[in-house]
Structure 1
Amino acid sequence: MVGNSGVGSGSSSHWDLMGSAMVMMQYVRLTPDVQSKQGAIWNRIPCYLRDWEMQVHFKVHGQGKKNLNGDGFAIWYTKERMQPGPVFGSKDMFAGLGVFVDTYPNEEKQQERIFPYIMAMVGNGTLGYDHERDGRPTELGGCTALVRNLNQDTFLVIRYVRRRLTVMIDIDGKSEWRDCLDIPGVRLPKGYYFGASSVTGDLSDNHDIISLKLYQLTVERSAEEEREDKEIKYTTMQQLVSLVITVGKLKSYRRMITKPFSDTDLVSFLVDQDIIEEKVVQEVTSSNPFESESIFSQTQSNILHSIRDLEQKCWVLRQFSNHSDLIAVTLQGPNLKREVKLNLSTYRLVNPSKMQPVILGISGTKLYLSCAKSADTPVLQLEEVDDSSQLQTIDSDSDMVRFLFYKQESGSTTQFESALCESWYISTDFDERKEVTLCHMENQVQERNTRFLLFR
């Protein structure tokens, strides 16, 4: 790591204050421990670094007892600056990155998440933050961080390297970074602005920023990665799906994907309620104690999901006279009806070193995703299966393994690795209307989206 850009210690002329933000001797107080305040600090100079790290030294403290304090603060890297709004004191429908230190749970009846909670969201200018559900529908990942009223210094670091977003925290006084979230395939344009904002409502806290320090990171890249970076244009981000119409549906759903993931944790906010169809069957067990451990046995079937990549592109089915395929497309409004729904079936784990085995079918058809080889290269294809009972049990030595994928979850994102071809993952292109294919994790992961958001 080289090159300290000194954002935290630079000239005050590089910074603008907004709202209730006040410059103190050793820190900037975004909001005092007073109700109904909001404040922000924004850097005037856009960041043109390709790989960077932002270290934040902060303090959250106040008189309120647990869950009687609020609301938290945000660190921003966004296209626009100095615009107040409802998302921790800054505007909603932002374009760029927001990392939120949320100190108050707004969603009633949620018990699995402990606050304060740190989460990240990437917005496209039309994607809204759901305040009533603590941002869960758009969360990329996060962690609990008990940061209030601590005697020791508290830090978080936001790192963006080779399209990988990482957030770590140091809040225990041990001078050790602890992982909070790590998400590959995130695309953040250059030329955005860093800032920090906070808001208090009926509950309050002091939200203090002691320093913001930006570092340029030097990372080696292959010639192919250099070429890809030159071809990236911000227009792709502007083409992300508008979810304004869909946001109204969020309030009618009661649960959202959380971690650790289980089937009961999954939730949908993009699928109309009347098309949700879940059929759960009992786990297959055998009275024969010598049943082979090489058999994948179906445990749950036909769990309907919508799927998006991290750029919010949907899957769309194309059917030709001699074959079918899937492409990834940004859809909005009435066109959302073209979106593919996946029938996801789960299987008993055979290999403890692997993740959850699943089969992915296209709802309303007899088509299933499978892995085949073309000239020794794995390819993704859609196969028609007339009798789905053939898929209830699969011998690990049979060619039917081509239908199985390992479902790997990290934060709110999911990857699908082929069971037949190790290290080959279902992926989408960063560009529009490109085919959904397989890519090798080591060789192609920087060129393709391999992480997806599932909604039930």
Structure 2
Amino acid sequence: MMKVEPASPQYFRSSSYSSCHDLFYEPDCPKKAKGPMLCVKQPSCSESNFDCSSIFHLQEAQDPSPSMSFKQAVVLVVAVEKLKKQVQTPIHFISDEDLYDLFLNIFEPEPIECETVELLDQPEKRYIYRNQTIEYSIRDIDKKCFLLQKPLGSPRLTAVHLQGPDAKKEVKINMAFYMCPGNPTQEAVVLGIAGENLYLCCTGESPPVLTLETVDKNVLGSMSSSELQPFIFFKSNSGSTCRFESATFPSWYISTSLAENERVKVSQLGQTAFTEFNTSRS
């Protein structure tokens, strides 16, 4: 049979069984039982309250007289189940809500104010002359070439179709090559009118304007990178054609109009203009 053993090394065993045991093992588990019954509790338990949360151990004992009835076995099983329910403690896992409540008791939330800071001092790009200047003939994909006009002393560059004797009026471009250590993959160039001290320059705000600036060649070579920036264009090749992107105004390219004898300017990709050119050495 089975006997009930408390956590301490004390053993209680009843030598007789009576109907009063039924009171102890009934579902309502009365606090006081009458008659001789098996009392398994720690000495610290109150005499008037039998509901004890002590830990009990069950050990199997050999009984030479196996005279336990079926009813006694059922009563014992019910008692064991009740004792197991008394000693089991429900497990509570810590959730995110518990931690959140804990942090609220310790820390006080404070609003965060964000400020937008504009960086005015950007790193200056450096341009180093590669001691290489090549004269090119540049035409757009519509085969218009450059023509220099000087109305009222204000030079401007236009794109026209020149044929026959007028082909001699075509303007050739001196392309000076520079290195840009900050971005070695880009090919930086300065575009000047051959035989003139005129250089293409991208100025203005929005939209930018392409102009011809008069600059002495020796002065151009002694300019700082910041002074040279408006004259710099990044040359990008795509097959047999190329584009010239302004270094001062990214995404703005040297372009020509679809119409005849219009001024050379700068445009963005997608606008109605030619931005691709064919170059050939003179």
1:369–1:382 Cα contact (<8 Å) kept? yes
Cα shift readout 1:243-288 (whole Å, capped 9, x = no counterpart): xxxxxxxxxxxxxxxxxxxxxxxxxxxxxxxxxxxxxxxxxxxxxx
The one-letter code matched in structure 2 to 1:432 is E
Q: Which residue of 2 aligns with 1:296?
A: 127
Q: CA separation in 2, counterparts of 1:412 and 1:393?
A: 33
Q: Which residue of 1 aligns with 2:190?
A: 359
The one-letter code matched in structure 2 to 1:323 is S
Q: CA separation in 2, counterparts of 1:454 and 1:318?
A: 21
Q: Which residue of 2 aligns with 1:420?
A: 248
Superposed displacement of residue 354, structure 1: 5.4
Q: Which residue of 1 aligns with 2:179?
A: 348
Cα shift readout 1:80-119 (whole Å, capped 9, x = no counterpart): xxxxxxxxxxxxxxxxxxxxxxxxxxxxxxxxxxxxxxxx
The one-letter code matched in structure 2 to 1:367 is L
Matched, 1:324 2:155: yes
- Aligned partner of residue 402 in structure 1, secondary structure: helix
The one-letter code matched in structure 1 to 2:214 is E
2:137–2:279 Cα contact (<8 Å) kept? yes
2:126–2:180 Cα contact (<8 Å) kept? no
Superposed displacement of residue 390, structure 1: 2.8
Q: Which residue of 2 aligns with 1:384?
A: 214
Q: CA separation in 2, counterparts of 1:313 and 1:435?
A: 12
Normalised to the residue count of structure 1, the TM-score between the two structures is 0.33
The one-letter code matched in structure 2 to 1:414 is C
Q: CA separation in 2, counterparts of 1:403 and 1:334?
A: 32
1:354–1:406 Cα contact (<8 Å) kept? no
Q: Which residue of 2 aligns with 1:334?
A: 165
Q: Which residue of 270, 277, 282 corresponds with 1:452?
A: 277
- Structure 2 stretches lacking a partner, 5+ long: 1-122
- Aligned partner of residue 377 in structure 1, secondary structure: coil
Superposed displacement of residue 430, structure 1: 1.1
Relative to its length, the structure with more strand (as a share) is 1
1:342–1:361 Cα contact (<8 Å) kept? yes
Matched, 1:306 2:137: yes
- Aligned partner of residue 406 in structure 1, secondary structure: strand
Q: Which residue of 262, 267, 271 corresponds with 1:439?
A: 267
Q: CA separation in 2, counterparts of 1:394 and 1:415?
A: 25
1:296–1:393 Cα contact (<8 Å) kept? no
2:255–2:276 Cα contact (<8 Å) kept? yes
The structure-2 alpha-carbon separation of the partners of 1:329 and 1:422, relative to structure 1 and needing over 3 Å to count, comes to: same
Q: CA separation in 2, counterparts of 1:301 and 1:354?
A: 18
Superposed displacement of residue 431, structure 1: 1.3
- Aligned partner of residue 168 in structure 2, secondary structure: helix
- Aligned partner of residue 295 in structure 1, secondary structure: coil
Q: CA separation in 1, counterparts of 2:213 and 2:126?
A: 21
The higher-RCO structure (CA 8 Å, 6+ apart) is 1
Superposed displacement of residue 394, structure 1: 4.9
The one-letter code matched in structure 1 to 2:209 is V
Relative to its length, the structure with more helix (as a share) is 2
Q: Which residue of 1 aligns with 2:88?
A: none
Q: CA separation in 1, counterparts of 2:199 and 2:222?
A: 15
Larger Rg: 2
Q: CA separation in 1, counterparts of 2:185 and 2:241?
A: 17
Superposed displacement of residue 293, structure 1: 8.6
Identity over aligned pairs, percent: 40
The one-letter code matched in structure 2 to 1:337 is K
Superposed displacement of residue 393, structure 1: 5.5
Superposed counterparts of 1:268-287, under 5 Å? none
Superposed displacement of residue 361, structure 1: 0.4
Q: Which residue of 2 aligns with 1:190?
A: none
Q: CA separation in 2, counterparts of 1:410 and 1:330?
A: 24
Q: CA separation in 1, counterparts of 2:185 and 2:231?
A: 16
Superposed displacement of residue 351, structure 1: 3.1
The one-letter code matched in structure 1 to 2:129 is Q
Q: CA separation in 2, counterparts of 1:347 and 1:436?
A: 23
Cα shift readout 1:32-53 (whole Å, capped 9, x = no counterpart): xxxxxxxxxxxxxxxxxxxxxx
Q: CA separation in 2, counterparts of 1:327 and 1:301?
A: 26
2:125–2:180 Cα contact (<8 Å) kept? no
Superposed counterparts of 1:9-20, under 5 Å? none
Moved over 4 A (4+): none
Cα-Cα RMSD: 2.0
The one-letter code matched in structure 1 to 2:263 is E
Superposed counterparts of 1:11-30, under 5 Å? none
Q: CA separation in 2, counterparts of 1:437 and 1:383?
A: 14
Superposed displacement of residue 353, structure 1: 6.8
Superposed displacement of residue 308, structure 1: 0.5
The one-letter code matched in structure 2 to 1:447 is T
Q: CA separation in 2, counterparts of 1:408 and 1:393?
A: 26
Normalised to the residue count of structure 2, the TM-score between the two structures is 0.53
Cα shift readout 1:403-435 (whole Å, capped 9, x = no counterpart): 110011110101000011111100001111111
The structure-2 alpha-carbon separation of the partners of 1:412 and 1:341, relative to structure 1 and needing over 3 Å to count, comes to: same
